[in-house]
Amino acid sequence: MSIERIDKLLALSGFGSRKDVRKLLHTGTVTVDGAVVTAADFHVNTEKSQVIVDGEELAFQKHVYLMMNKPAGVVSSTKDGVHKTVFDLLETEFAHRTLGGDLHLIGRLDIDTEGLLLLTTDGNLTHRLTSPKHNIAKTYFVRLRDSLSDEEKAEYTEKFKNSLEVPREHNEEAFTAKSAELVWQSSPNECLLTIYEGKYHQVKRMFKVLGNEVVYLKRVKEGTIELDPNLQPGEARELTPAEKAALNIQ
């Protein structure tokens, strides 16, 4: 990972597309170990060399950590013959291979589910957030087909708290859901559900057990990371230093 082209490094460091970066190089403001570099294919040792752009030293980031506000109608996979994928939505700056490896998804959302999707090149973080052993909390905003009375809400809350049995669906095994928390919202058919695992169609299947149906689903939180309300559907941004610190990433 230590030898990279200067145009790739600058693009990954936020200086725009490869074309923007070539223009930047032609201005003569980029130096590597004190010498001006104008060639886009100049190779840099990212572990040893000092790259300065317009007087400021670049700190190379090994891994990329992104949050996306996934819109409905887009699939959480790298390729799909029919639908757009979340990778099609990413700006090229994020989309190509980064220094630390391939950019991949931390978990998935169904095609019709919206909201928080994390992407990274850091396989260790992916393991920490997706391993069932770690019980990472995921919170979803849920709108149900049928409105509920206060009594019914209490019944749902109790059932979700106490290991709900979810039957087999298609080829997916039946499972006993870990204790989950429901917080009812002001509308009689809206709630926040927090679960601690990520089985196939889990939220939809849990409500189906109680004879209801999820008509809108949006993930709003995963572990310590909350969906940024300023992120429009389809937009992605890097995690902030505070968000990374909360995930124990240096």
Which of 12, 21, 51, 109 lies at the binding interface for ligand URA (CB under 6 A)? 109
- Catalytic positions: 110
**Amino acid letter, 221:** K
Q: Is the Cβ of residue 111 or residue 249 nearer to ligand URA in the bound state?
A: 111
CA atoms within 13 A on the CB side of 219: 31
Within residues 147-206, the interface with ligand URA by CB under 6 A covers 201-204
Task: Candidates 88, 110, 169, 172: give the one binding ligand URA (CB under 6 A).
Answer: 110
Q: In this complex, which beta carbon is closest to ligand URA, that of residue 217 or of residue 227?
A: 217
Q: What is the distance between the alpha carbons of residues 157 and 155, in angstroms, rounded to a whole number?
A: 5
Residue 172 DSSP label: B
By C-beta, is 112 or 146 nearer to ligand URA?
A: 112
Q: Compute the distance between CA of residue 59 and CA of residue 43 in angstroms, rounded to an integer.
A: 16
> Least distance in Å: CB of 76 to ligand URA?
8
Which residues are CB-contacts of 176 (< 8 A; sequence separation ≥ 6)? 163, 164, 165, 166
Number of residues that bind ligand URA (CB under 6 A): 8
Rule CB under 6 A: choose which of 90, 182, 217, 225 binds ligand URA. 217
For ligand URA, give the closer residue by CB, 8 or 204: 204
Neighbours of 201 (CB within 10 A): 16
| Residue written as token pair 């559900």 | 193
Binding site for ligand URA (CB under 6 A): 109-110, 113, 201-204, 217
